[in-house]
Each structure stands twice: as structure tokens, then as C-alpha cells.
Structure 1
Amino acid sequence: MSAVPENAPEHCPGTNSEAAGKAEACAGCPNQSICSALPKGPDPAVEEIRQKLSNVKHKILVLSGKGGVGKSTFTSHLAHAIAEDPQKQVGVLDVDICGPSMPRMLGTEGETVHQSGSGWSPVYVRDNLAMMSVGFLLGSLSDAVIWRGAKKSGLIKQFLRDVDWDDLDYLIVDTPPGTSDEHLSLVQMLTGGNYGNGSGIDGAVIVTTPQQVALIDVRKEINFCRKTDVKIIGVAENMGEFVCPACQKPSTIFPRTTGGAEKMCEELGETFIGGLPLDPRIARSCDEGKSFLEEVPDSPAVKAFRAIVEKVIGFCEKKGGAKDNDTGEVMMDTA
């Protein structure tokens, strides 16, 4: 089914229809000129990406509708945890175009990307952990990326199509907050959108904090996954409690005024995969580009995180054994 813009007339044929911008219902529509000029049919880049990523076994998206919930911290340490197995090859793709933080968190800040005949070579954190980020393409750490949606989408397409990952067991994608350009482009390029035949996505881990202001936005992210047919591996609640490094006594920083992520998952029929306590040593490890799994193995957060990682890996190894999400119309990017 062709995607229909939110402000479309009642009988809109859809952006991918041959009649887009030409049908009688299109007269007077503000999108008429855009729809009539859009190329019809599947994007040829989808097949190129499918071939390029054919050697990647599992693809995981890390999402959150809310910023500042520790999504990038979760991504970096999910990669560290899986890469502790020397038999596993892991890649991290940072598609947070305007705020790339993966180079700092993975200790690769200042590295440069090299290009060969087979594509861009990712930067290696260790022998079995590689990453790619727009942060490697900027002139300095203070450079701002001031791009419209189409240019962001173009870079994401290039990252998916041109990075030479070699054989990977896991490709973990860190995304910006929200449900907009970067997310739509990523899902379309990996799944093929309405046309299918993409390389596919195993599922998404959604990260939140306990307070209601974060959960409101996370509900939108869950709805995004359902509408774009992305399976939800589960919801992880970050910063649930502060655990004093000295006395190990827990204190609540972000109160669960509405029951937190676990209650939300019960209401929405999603899987709660665990909570992570707030430990200042985690932030310090990220600032220093180190793994807190190795730096502070005695932290209660490490035990909690490893339990979450086991659930994520279990989901992927079962090849999407979890329930299917309710699906709706796939929202397509018309930028």
C-alpha cells in the first residue's frame, strides 16, 4: 500500500502510486508538485544495501523518542558486551547526524575514515568491534551539522551502502531522539518500505527513563515501530535508581510517578527487558572512551546490564521469535 501524507486529501492515491500528483484527488493538494516529481517504484539503493549487508547476521536499532535518556551509552555498551566474545564481530553505526557521540564513548575520537575500492573502511575500536559515525567526517569537534532532511537521508543511505563492514554478527545502530527523517530513512533503506526485499531489521531496543515526561515520548516511538513494522525487542529503563558507589545504598532520582517503563509495557503489551541503576562511574567511563563493564565490574549496573544483553541476544538468535507488532501503514519519507 502506498504511503499517504498526513495532510493528504481524502482519496489520495499515495506517494508511490503512478497517479501520484496527477489524479483528480490531487488537485489543490499542497503536496501535488512534490508527489508528481517523485521517482516511482523501489529505490535502487535498497537492493544495493541488501547486497552490501548480506554478510551481517543481525541488525539492531536503539531508539528513544526522548533525548538524554542514555541511548548512546546503552548502544556503546551493548556493543562492548557482545564484543567480549572474541568469536563475535560487531559493528556500530551512529546515525545521530547532528549529535554524534559514539566516537567519544568508544574512544575513537579524532580518527579518520579511509576509502578504498570497496567503500569506506570503518574505524576499529578493537579487533572485533568497528564503528562508523559522521563525527569522523567533521573538521573539528565544535563543527555543527546544519542539514535539511534530504541531506541527512542521503548520508544514512551512503553509510548503509558504502561502509565495508566485512562479516558481522551484529550491526547496532544508534539513532537520534524522535521519529523523523533519520528513522524513516533508516527503516526504508533496510526494509524496502512498501516494496519490501530489503536486508531487514531484527528489532529495536527502546531506551527510556522512569519519569512520565520521558514515557510520553517513548510511547510515540513504540507507535512508530508498529506503523513501520519494526519488531520491538523490548524496553529498557535507564537511571532507575542511584546506587552510591561507597555504601551501595539506592536512592530514587527519577520517580516512577505512573509506574515507570514496566507499567507502560504491561499496558501496551510490550516486553520490559530490565532496568539500569544510575552510577556516575558509567558517565565517567563514557567520557574516557572506556567500557564500564571492564572498568567497574563490581557495579550493580553491570549485573543488570548483562541480564538485558542476554535477552537482546536471545531475541536475535531466535530470529525474531518474539511476537509480531501490530502493523499499520508504512510512513514513507517524501524529502
Structure 2
Amino acid sequence: MSSCDSGSSCNSCGSANSCDTDEKQQHTDEMIKKRLSRIKYKIMVMSGKGGVGKSTVSVSLAAMLNSLGYKVGILDADIHGPNIPKMLGITKKGAQSDEDGILPFEPIEGLKVMSVGFLIQNDDDAIIWRASLKHSMIQQFISDVSWGELDFLIVDLPPGTGDEPLSTAHVIGDIDGAVIVTTPQDVALLDSRKSVNFSAKLNIPVYGIVENMSGMLCPHCGEIVNVFKTGGGEKAALELEVPFLGRVPMDPAVVERGDEGKPYVLENSDSEVAKALKKVAEGVLDRTIKAE
């Protein structure tokens, strides 16, 4: 396609719109590169299926890293089910901007958040978008958002290996690692294998597997009851030859804090669940900051 001057029609390519589109994409690519150059580590949090507590792990990992003094961003790439705003107590809609771009929300100092949940007026509205529009939104979440200097960008992905994970990997280009969340059942191996294989095909290092909901912490006696068995995540990590980041038990307080918009790991820092999630954060630090 021949190049053409901005604002003029192009007889060579037949459409000024085509040239305008190329210029816009070039500008977007340049902005993405500029934004990412200020972010040290980009980490995807994935799961093979829904309902495994992936967003809870994403928020907990980000909050834990932030509490350790790191600058962290959370990109909520779950376009159809953006739960991150609710879990961080962000009820405002819309987004402000300055000369540098769209300003992410900052519910905790040093923790920046962007989600499509801020852009819809009614949380009950269904987002019915094709893959191309979702790809464009993820591009904008990087190119147009003023993330600033970050140590970590945590990308909370929807379950599976479809449009959003693929678009995120394509847009960012250089994902530093993936954290895969699963549950203790033996069938977890099937779901985890898909996420591990997805990462391998895109040359994304797997930082490890988290076995979430690994037993329930009894609120009365404090002992752990193995509701869903235990060991499926660890078995998957062993068979798939990737690190195992630990078991995280269930605690009714996790649901309560999530509904209240308060990160559990900050509100219940001495609990067994928080200790397990801290181990997950330490596993990520071992593969990033401590490996420098």
C-alpha cells in the first residue's frame, strides 16, 4: 500500500480512510511501546475454566506486592465479567484524563487499576463485542492509560485461552510470565494443561500454578476441611514440569472482604490464607526482582 499525506485522499490505495487507519495504528503502536517501556514486569493471571478464584488471586497478588513497597497496576482484561472494580471497592464510573492520557483509578497508594467496568454505566449491561473490538479495547488499555512507572502490571484475564488472552499477549508482546490458577480436583490437570500449553506456544514463561480453594478454613476451629480434595494443582505442576506456587485454602472472610471491596490479604494479614497468598507473591518475586 502506498503512503499518502495526512488529511488528503490517496489515489494509489483508493481510500484516505485506509491511510488514516494505518497512521492511527502506527501511533497506537508507538504509545504502547512507550507505556510498556516504563513497566518492568508484565504478568498474566490465567485459568483454564471459570469459578476458580482467579480474580481473587489477581487482586491478592497485586495488593501483596504493593504492601511490600512495589508500584503495581491491575489491568482487568476480563471484558465480559469485569469484577476487579467491585473487589477493590471502586464504585465510580467514567475516567478522568490529563495531557498524558487516561488516569487509572488508585484505590490504594501505589496500586493503579483500569477496567472496562469503569466505562459502562450499568453493571448489569451485557457487553456484546466481537473479537476485533475487544482487541482494540485492550490496545487502548495500554496505549491510552497513564500507567506511569510500574514494577508490576498484573493482567487479570477471563478463563480459557480465547480472544482476550491472545490479544493481551499480542498487544504487550513481551509477557514476562503467567500465573495459572486452578482447583484441587484431579480434573484440574486437564484445565491447567491448556493454559500451560497456551503459554508455551506464545513463549510465555509459566511462573507457576496456584492451587486455590485447597480445603476450607473452618471459622470456628481454624482447621482445614478438604472440601474439594487436595493436590490436583500440585500434581498438575509436577506433570507439566512447571513451578508449584502453593495451596490457598478457602475462608468465608475472603468472600466478605471481596464484597466489601477490601483486599483480604490486607485486612486479614495474619490468616493462613494470607500467608499462602504471600507465598505466591514470593514465588513471583523469586522469578522477577530477586532474579535480577
Q: TM-score, normalised by structure 2?
A: 0.88
Amino acid at match of 2:112: A
Query: Residue 156 of structure 1 contacts residue 185 of structure 1 at CA under 8 Å; is this kept in 2?
Result: yes
Deviation of residue 218 (structure 1)? 1.7
Counterparts of 1:63 and 1:154, CA distance in 2:
20
Amino acid at match of 2:61: L
Query: Residue 106 of structure 2 contacts residue 112 of structure 2 at CA under 8 Å; is this kept in 1?
Result: yes
Amino acid at match of 2:38: N
Gaps of at least 5 residues in structure 2 are 1-20
Q: Indicate the SS of the match to 1:141.
A: coil
After superposition, where does 1:62-101 map in structure 2 within 5 Å? 62-85=45-68, 87-101=69-83
The structure where strand makes up a greater share of residues is: 2
Aligned to 1:182: 164
1:229 alignment partner, one of 200, 203, 217: 203
Q: Indicate the SS of the match to 2:159.
A: coil
Aligned to 2:126: 144
After superposition, where does 1:98-247 map in structure 2 within 5 Å? 98-191=80-173, 200-247=174-221
Amino acid at match of 1:77: S
Aligned to 1:266: 238
Aligned to 1:17: none
Aligned to 2:9: none
Query: Residue 251 of structure 2 contacts residue 273 of structure 2 at CA under 8 Å; is this kept in 1?
Result: yes
Q: Indicate the SS of the match to 1:314.
A: helix
Counterparts of 2:270 and 2:108, CA distance in 1:
23
Q: How many residue pairs get matched?
A: 270
Aligned to 1:315: 287
Deviation of residue 215 (structure 1)? 3.0
Identity %: 44
Deviation of residue 303 (structure 1)? 1.2
Q: Indicate the SS of the match to 2:134.
A: helix
Amino acid at match of 2:133: K
Deviation of residue 249 (structure 1)? 1.8
Aligned to 1:51: 34
Deviation of residue 47 (structure 1)? 4.0
Amino acid at match of 2:224: P
1:278 alignment partner, one of 239, 245, 250: 250
Query: Residue 111 of structure 1 contacts residue 123 of structure 1 at CA under 8 Å; is this kept in 2?
Result: no
After superposing the two structures, state which structure 1 stretch, 92-101 or 120-129, moved more.
120-129
Counterparts of 1:260 and 1:217, CA distance in 2:
11
Counterparts of 2:83 and 2:290, CA distance in 1:
31
Q: Indicate the SS of the match to 1:154.
A: helix
Which 4+ runs in 1 deviate beyond 6 A?
A: none
Counterparts of 1:203 and 1:227, CA distance in 2:
13
Deviation of residue 124 (structure 1)? 0.8
Q: Residue by residue, what CA displacement relative to the aligned partner does 1:129-177 show, whole Å, maximum 9, x if unpaired?
A: 1100000000111111011111111100111111001111111110000
Amino acid at match of 1:123: F
Counterparts of 2:255 and 2:284, CA distance in 1:
22
Deviation of residue 289 (structure 1)? 0.5
Query: Residue 121 of structure 1 contacts residue 163 of structure 1 at CA under 8 Å; is this kept in 2?
Result: yes
The structure where helix makes up a greater share of residues is: 2
Deviation of residue 291 (structure 1)? 1.8
After superposing the two structures, state which structure 1 stretch, 160-169 or 288-297, moved more.
288-297
Q: Indicate the SS of the match to 1:240.
A: strand
Q: Indicate the SS of the match to 1:233.
A: strand
Aligned to 1:294: 266
Q: Residue by residue, what CA displacement relative to the aligned partner does 1:70-110 show, whole Å, maximum 9, x if unpaired?
A: 0000011111111113x421111000000000000011122
Counterparts of 2:107 and 2:270, CA distance in 1:
24
Amino acid at match of 2:269: P
Gaps of at least 5 residues in structure 1 are 1-38, 192-199, 322-335
Query: Residue 112 of structure 1 contacts residue 137 of structure 1 at CA under 8 Å; is this kept in 2?
Result: yes
Query: Residue 69 of structure 1 contacts residue 208 of structure 1 at CA under 8 Å; is this kept in 2?
Result: yes
Deviation of residue 46 (structure 1)? 4.0
Amino acid at match of 1:136: F
Query: Residue 71 of structure 1 contacts residue 207 of structure 1 at CA under 8 Å; is this kept in 2?
Result: yes
Counterparts of 2:285 and 2:257, CA distance in 1:
24
Query: Residue 46 of structure 1 contacts residue 190 of structure 1 at CA under 8 Å; is this kept in 2?
Result: no
Counterparts of 1:68 and 1:214, CA distance in 2:
12
Query: Residue 56 of structure 1 contacts residue 169 of structure 1 at CA under 8 Å; is this kept in 2?
Result: yes
Deviation of residue 111 (structure 1)? 4.0
Counterparts of 2:33 and 2:286, CA distance in 1:
24
